[in-house]
A = this chain, B = another copy of it.
């Protein structure tokens, strides 16, 4: 059980649950879908095994995360977000928006994962009843752009009607906010495939925010 601030304040209470080191980054990882312990450890470079185990237990007690045996795969134990955990999406979005100007240049020591671009891209893309697959050098993920369920998940999408392929420079320009999606689509190094209202909307350049 982590230490409490002991303040009658909603912000302090939230930080009692998700304010510890690594906690929100674990939530970020699980926002991409259920993960096993080893996968989490691999995508959180620097976290030690005991801290990961402790955080997962704390987050479970805080009703943010559940342990579950995935159906299909022979009894694979996995962690996933609860409804309360998914309700942290606005917190992650706000942090991502604020942190964007700090991304300017990747440092030599920085780890990179494809799905870390998902939250910034969700902040950037319009609401649309569509699923967009995004392919980067580091891997693929897909975004659900419905107004009701704006989310993302790892890997290619089975039901994507559009696919966006970005080279590293385009991806970086998008994520750092130095280029709009319209800019990137005009330049070489990016490709938008598929059809449907989303593709027409994006290709049409009707992107204000």
Contacts and interface: CB of A to CB of B under 8 A. Distances in A.
Interface of A: 5-17, 19, 21, 24-25, 28, 45-46, 87-88, 90-100, 102-103, 106-107, 109-113, 116, 119-120, 175
A21 B24 CA distance: 13
A25 to B, nearest CB: 6
A92 B11 contact: yes
B46 A25 contact: no
30 contacts: A5-B46, A6-B46, A6-B110, A7-B25, A7-B110, A7-B112, A7-B116, A8-B106, A8-B110, A9-B99, A9-B103, A9-B113, A10-B95, A10-B96, A10-B99, A11-B25, A11-B99, A11-B116, A11-B119, A13-B103, A14-B96, A14-B99, A15-B25, A15-B95, A15-B99, A17-B99, A90-B97, A90-B98, A91-B94, A93-B94
Given A6-B45, A11-B28, A93-B94, 7 more contacts: A6-B107, A7-B25, A8-B106, A9-B103, A10-B98, A11-B116, A94-B94
A10 B175 contact: yes
Contact of A6 (B92, B98, B109, B119): B109
Contacts of A45: 6-7
A171 to B, nearest CB: 11
A115 to B, nearest CB: 9
Nearest to A112: B8
B21 A102 contact: no
Contacts of A112: 7-8
A116 B13 CA distance: 12
Nearest to A172: B8
Contacts of A175: 10
Given A19-B21, A91-B94, A102 B6 contact: no
